Amino acid sequence: QVYLVESGGASVQAGGSLRLSCKAPSFSIPSACMGWFRQTPWKERAGVASVASDDTTTYAESVQGRFRIYKAKHENTLYLEMDGLKTEDTAMYYCAVRWPKTCPLFPKYFNIWGQGTQVTVSS
């Protein structure tokens, strides 16, 4: 059974940093397109960043330059490093996977989702 386990969410002050983790106990992360998405009660789920099987990355404009997505292959873990956090980054963050080689940053193209981890940024 394919599943994902996120962790690392927390409450921080604006300007702070967090690192989210996504572990995949049942498949090899390096071979997959992986993405981070976020959702709030008043907004649809939206793409944050994705990394393809060839390590090509894509970022939402709102996080470009502040967030970094990468795969720690020896740990089989996906990370999202978040610096310069803003209150508008507050959301539930989800990691997801898809196996076609293309890696679009749109939720509808991803097959398997984790349970989410909450990030709250206060001013």
What pLDDT sits at residue 70? 97
DSSP for 86-110 reads -GGG-EEEEEEEE-SS---S-GGG-
pLDDT of residue 63: 98
Instruction: List phi, psi (to 5°) of 18.
Output: -145, 160
pLDDT value for 91: 98
Residue 83 has a pLDDT of: 98
Q: Mean pLDDT, consecutive 10-residue segments, the chain of 123 residues?
A: 93 98 92 96 96 95 98 95 98 94 92 96 97
Backbone angles phi, psi at 87, to 5 degrees: -60, -30
Please state whether beta strands 112-113 and 5-7 pair in parallel, antiparallel, or not at all (unpaired): unpaired
Residue closest to 24 by CA, chosen among 81, 65, 80, 78? 78
pLDDT at 2: 81
Q: Which residues contact 85 (CB under 8 A, 6 or more apart)?
A: 12, 14, 15, 16, 17, 18, 66, 119, 121
